[in-house]
């Protein structure tokens, strides 16, 4: 099949858009599964300790670190929807640096490729975690699914 450079570029762009949409959908699902419903001072302190322990603190930008630290010091409960959304993104970044977070991310990705709905995936988190862990523990040459 002979593709022109424009049609090939359009295929790549549509594929990238599809991947970013899927990534966003998976991260929204993980936010619902992993993060607390109400973000309080103890939750923020716990996540700061977790980030320092698994070295994901250095993955965060200086702005994200300072926002997380200041929020944990000043605010007893995050009530602002905008601040809540920003803090959730930071906490999700920390969670995705852990083994459990990576395993759930890859597990959801693999189950979506097997054409399962997200509602079914969320109901059976043990299977999702198991599939994600087996994917992470495979050598890179065997990590091709679907």
- Token look-up 């679907």 returns 146
| Separation CA 80–CA 65 (nearest Å) | 19
Question: What is the DSSP-derived secondary structure letter of residue 76?
Answer: S
- Predicted confidence at residue 122, as pLDDT, reads 80
Mean pLDDT of all residues in 11-37: 83
pLDDT tens per residue, range 54-93: 999 999 999 999 999 999 999 999 999 999 999 999 999 9
Mean pLDDT comparison of 5-9, 21-25, 30-34, 85-89, highest-scoring range: 85-89
> Is 74 within 8 Å of 98 (Cβ atoms)?
no
């Amino acid at each position: 099949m002979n593709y022109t450079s424009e049609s090939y570029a359009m295929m790549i762009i549509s594929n990238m858009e599809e991947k970013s949409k899927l990534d966003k959908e998976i991260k929204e699902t993980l936010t619902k599964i992993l993060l607390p419903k109400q973000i309080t001072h103890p939750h923020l302190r716990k996540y700061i300790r977790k980030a320092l322990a698994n070295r994901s603190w250095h993955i965060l930008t200086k702005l994200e670190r300072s926002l997380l630290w200041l929020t944990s010091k000043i605010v007893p409960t995050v009530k602002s929807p905008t601040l809540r959304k920003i803090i959730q993104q930071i906490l999700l970044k920390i969670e995705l640096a852990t083994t459990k977070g990576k395993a759930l991310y890859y597990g959801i990705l693999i189950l979506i490729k097997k054409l399962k709905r997200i509602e079914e995936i969320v109901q059976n988190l043990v299977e999702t975690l198991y599939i994600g862990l087996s994917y992470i523990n495979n050598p890179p040459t065997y990590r091709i699914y679907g």
